[in-house]
């Protein structure tokens, strides 16, 4: 039997074999060629798939290293650095740039002990560069090549390759891309930073490899540095060095450059003539009276033949027409709208400012110029659609303008912008040292998890954070990290109207957050077949330190493990809960709901309780609550079936509820329900609860509720 393996793997020998043996027709030749081509495609496919998997694992391993390097680079970028310190920072900047190049293009510029199996798949690398073949660009090229191979094989691409392609795209868009932008922002901030040790600092990029730093004091060059390592042969660094680990700028003892002394003219005796001279008026002995001076100031000068030719008229102090009057009008309009306090503190409502014909790219700078001598304490920019240029300018003035550096309250609720537009503003917000209140609600921030974590970690005075409806499902890991960092300072947190996974919520409720208010209204728990409610994903709440807990119409109300954990937390002596809202359109699990209500009765400290929509509560539980469990309750919201109203009204007595001031009662009424019945109930309650100031009784048809 003839073996054709050598023919399949070496198609160029097919023709020789056919002519030598004479035993095969043209059909045999075509068959063998097709077999050889298919085997070659399969082998190439397997090789490309292996390389693509290695690309993904390599990029995934690079992400934490890249993030740590960027944090170190940003941490050591400060004002008032010495020229030598700038040089040390520049060396670190180059290494971080080279790390980004390795991740993006797979190009190696420094010595390494690693061995590389693959070559670059793109032309974006330099001609003689050492490459890994494992960059993001290589991954994209491999994806395109595999698409062609599968089309030639007439097969559908496997799902795991689609997943790798999707994850690689997410890494590039949500993690690597923003980090690359932060490098450019660091370079820009360094060039615009101020220092007493030098006057100018510039980082010039000639092409890609040649980068030069020049630090000047006037016309004198203090530091001039260039990139030393352009490839492995020219590199003098240690193999596989990571200089951002334990990086520290070695400060030298440098005295700040003395500033030029300002010469102040002293006038020992200012008289009327000296004052006239300062206004450009010639002084003569015959013009010593006040009337003559005022006439010249107003331009009422009559030149006679006896007066000298050199006589000058008064110089007008008004702004010439057509010079900067338009800018002045805009700045005055901003100041009149902002109305700064005498202390210089002011609040800006950006949406209410009148711009006229001022272009969008110039508006933020106009605000900063108008308020240069003031301190902005509150900035409100909500429910509007700023342009991308305005958002970029806003990020710039947050980091560069002194009037906004002490910002305490920032409201950016509901801005109609593309999600990618948030990259620079969020990183700028993280640099505000005095920020106390931050409202980012109703914005799509799913791709900005690292930036949110940076804000929660770096803003050390932050006490209020509103992230309502921000679509944070893909930012869960970063959100947890940020909340852990600010757990001791945070007082008010809103994650309402978001969807989260059960594992995230399990870790979240275990955080030791000492909050005044926790808002989880309309929160959705996303269940999967692997994360259904069981012992492994049960939500065991940490000691309940929140004073006001809002669970209205949240999926958490239907979670048995959370209700049981909440009941246990109420029995703890450290519990300080004063307000509980857990209205729901559905009935919570009955045994756990009963346990929770019994603990509320024993707790006896609630000042507000809302159970709207839950009409399945047993009457014995209502008896305990209304007669013994709510002595400090001020606001009570609940729902009852029509048949239970009469009995509950008898329990509503001023002696049992001495602090009650507001009652909101929803009645599941029948179709024959009348207003007279409501009037009768209202009269009885007014007699029994004379201190109640607000009493609402609303009939609700059960099918519509």
- Give the pLDDT of residue 175: 86
Q: How far is CA 366 from the centre of its chain?
A: 25
Looking at the structure, do residues 103 and 213 belong to the same domain, yes or no?
yes
Looking at the structure, do residues 373 and 475 belong to the same domain, yes or no?
yes
Looking at the structure, do residues 278 and 367 belong to the same domain, yes or no?
no
Domain endpoint, select from 171, 191, 226: 226
Q: How many residues does the chain have?
A: 705
Looking at the structure, do residues 281 and 156 belong to the same domain, yes or no?
no
Domain range for 449 is 325-494
Residue 504 lies in a domain: no
Looking at the structure, do residues 280 and 347 belong to the same domain, yes or no?
no
- Give the pLDDT of residue 262: 47
Burial of 395 (0-12, 13-18, 19+ CB in 10 A): buried
Residue 362 lies in a domain: yes
CA–CA gap between residue 68 and residue 186 (Å, rounded): 15
Residue 157 lies in a domain: yes
Domain endpoint, select from 461, 494, 527: 494
Looking at the structure, do residues 150 and 69 belong to the same domain, yes or no?
yes
Report the run of H or E that residue 64 belongs to, with start and end. Answer: helix 26-75
SS3 at position 143:
helix
Provide, for the chain, the percentages of residues in helix, strand and coil under a 3-state DSSP scheme, each rounded to the nearest 5. Answer: 45, 15, 45
Looking at the structure, do residues 202 and 338 belong to the same domain, yes or no?
no
Looking at the structure, do residues 191 and 283 belong to the same domain, yes or no?
no
Q: How far is CA 187 from CA 74, 89, 329, 593, in A?
A: 10, 10, 35, 57
Segment-wise mean pLDDT, segments of 10 residues, the chain, 705 residues: 46 49 53 68 86 87 89 86 89 89 86 83 79 87 87 82 82 85 87 84 78 85 84 82 86 57 47 59 51 52 44 39 57 86 90 86 89 91 91 91 91 93 94 94 93 94 95 92 92 94 90 90 81 62 85 90 89 90 86 90 92 86 89 92 86 90 86 78 89 87 51
Residue 367 lies in a domain: yes
Looking at the structure, do residues 80 and 182 belong to the same domain, yes or no?
yes
How many domains, in total, are found in the chain? 3
Residue 368 lies in a domain: yes
Residue 252 lies in a domain: no
Residue 62 lies in a domain: yes
* CATH number of the domain residue 388 falls in: 3.80.10.10
Domain endpoint, select from 295, 310, 340: 295
SS3 at position 493:
strand
Looking at the structure, do residues 339 and 291 belong to the same domain, yes or no?
no
Looking at the structure, do residues 332 and 370 belong to the same domain, yes or no?
yes
Looking at the structure, do residues 217 and 351 belong to the same domain, yes or no?
no
- Give the pLDDT of residue 261: 47
Residue 478 lies in a domain: yes
């Amino acid at each position: 039997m003839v073996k054709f393996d050598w023919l399949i793997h070496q198609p160029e020998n097919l023709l020789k074999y056919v002519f030598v043996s004479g035993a095969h027709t043209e059909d045999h030749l075509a068959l063998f060629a097709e077999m050889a081509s298919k085997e070659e495609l399969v082998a190439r496919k397997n090789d490309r798939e292996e390389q693509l998997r290695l690309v993904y694992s390599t990029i995934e391993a690079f992400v934490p290293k890249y993030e740590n390097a960027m944090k170190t680079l940003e941490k050591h970028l400060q004002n008032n650095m010495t020229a030598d310190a700038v040089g040390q920072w520049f060396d670190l900047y180059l290494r971080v740039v080279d790390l980004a190049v390795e991740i993006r293009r797979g190009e190696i510029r420094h010595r390494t002990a690693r061995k590389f199996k693959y070559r670059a798949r793109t032309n974006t690398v330099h001609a003689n560069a050492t490459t890994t073949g494992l960059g993001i660009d290589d991954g994209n090229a491999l994806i395109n090549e595999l698409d062609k191979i599968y089309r030639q094989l007439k097969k559908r691409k496997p799902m795991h390759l689609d997943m790798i392609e999707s994850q690689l795209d997410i890494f590039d868009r949500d993690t690597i891309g923003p980090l690359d932008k932060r490098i450019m922002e660091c370079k820009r901030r360094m060039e615009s930073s101020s220092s007493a040790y030098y006057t100018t600092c510039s980082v010039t990029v000639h092409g890609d490899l040649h980068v030069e730093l020049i630090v000047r004091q006037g016309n004198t060059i203090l530091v001039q540095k260039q990139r030393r390592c352009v490839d492995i042969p020219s590199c003098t660094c240690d193999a596989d060095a990571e200089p951002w680990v334990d990086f520290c700028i070695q400060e030298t003892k440098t005295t700040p450059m003395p500033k030029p002394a300002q010469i102040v003219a002293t006038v020992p005796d200012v008289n009327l003539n000296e004052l006239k001279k300062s206004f450009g008026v010639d002084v003569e002995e015959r013009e010593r009276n006040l009337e003559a001076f005022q006439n010249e100031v107003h331009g009422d000068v009559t030149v006679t033949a006896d007066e000298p030719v050199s006589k000058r008229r008064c110089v007008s102090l008004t702004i010439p027409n057509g010079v900067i009057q338009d800018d002045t009008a805009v700045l005055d309009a901003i100041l009149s709208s902002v109305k700064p306090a005498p202390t210089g503190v002011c609040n800006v409502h950006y949406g209410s400012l009148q711009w006229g014909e001022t272009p969008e790219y110039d508006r933020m700078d106009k605000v900063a110029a108008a308020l240069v001598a003031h301190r902005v304490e509150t900035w409100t920019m909500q429910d509007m659609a700023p342009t991308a240029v305005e958002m970029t300018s806003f990020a710039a003035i947050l980091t560069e303008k002194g009037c906004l550096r002490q910002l305490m309250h920032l409201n950016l609720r509901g801005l109609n912008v593309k999600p990618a537009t948030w990259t620079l503003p969020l990183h700028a917000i993280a640099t505000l040292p005095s920020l106390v209140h931050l409202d980012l609600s109703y914005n799509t921030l799913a791709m900005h998890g690292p930036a949110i974590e940076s804000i929660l970690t770096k803003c050390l005075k932050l006490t209020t954070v509103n992230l309502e409806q921000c679509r944070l499902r893909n930012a869960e890991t970063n959100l947890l990290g940020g909340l852990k960092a600010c757990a001791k300072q945070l007082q008010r947190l809103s994650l309402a109207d978001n969807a989260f996974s059960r594992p995230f919520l399990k870790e979240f409720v275990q955080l030791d957050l000492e909050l005044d208010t926790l808002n989880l209204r309309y929160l959705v728990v996303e269940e999967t077949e692997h994360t259904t409610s069981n012992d492994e994903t049960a939500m065991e709440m940490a000691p309940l330190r929140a004073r006001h807990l809002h669970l209205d119409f949240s999926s958490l109300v239907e979670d048995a493990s959370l209700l049981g954990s909440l009941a246990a937390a109420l029995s703890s002596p450290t519990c300080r809960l004063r307000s509980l809202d857990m209205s729901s359109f559905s009935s919570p699990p009955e045994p756990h709901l009963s346990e929770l209500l019994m603990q509320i009765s024993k707790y006896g400290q609630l000042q507000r309780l809302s159970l709207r929509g839950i009409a399945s509560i047993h009457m014995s539980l209502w008896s305990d609550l209304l007669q013994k469990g709510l002595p400090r309750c001020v606001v009570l919201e609940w729902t009852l079936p029509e048949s239970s109203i009469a009995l509950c009204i008898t329990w509503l007595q001023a002696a049992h509820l001495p602090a009650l001031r507001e009652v909101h009662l929803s009645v599941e009424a029948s179709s024959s329900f009348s207003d007279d019945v409501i009037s009768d109930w209202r009269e009885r309650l007014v007699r029994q609860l004379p201190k109640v100031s607000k009493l609402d009784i609303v009939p609700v048809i059960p099918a519509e509720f």
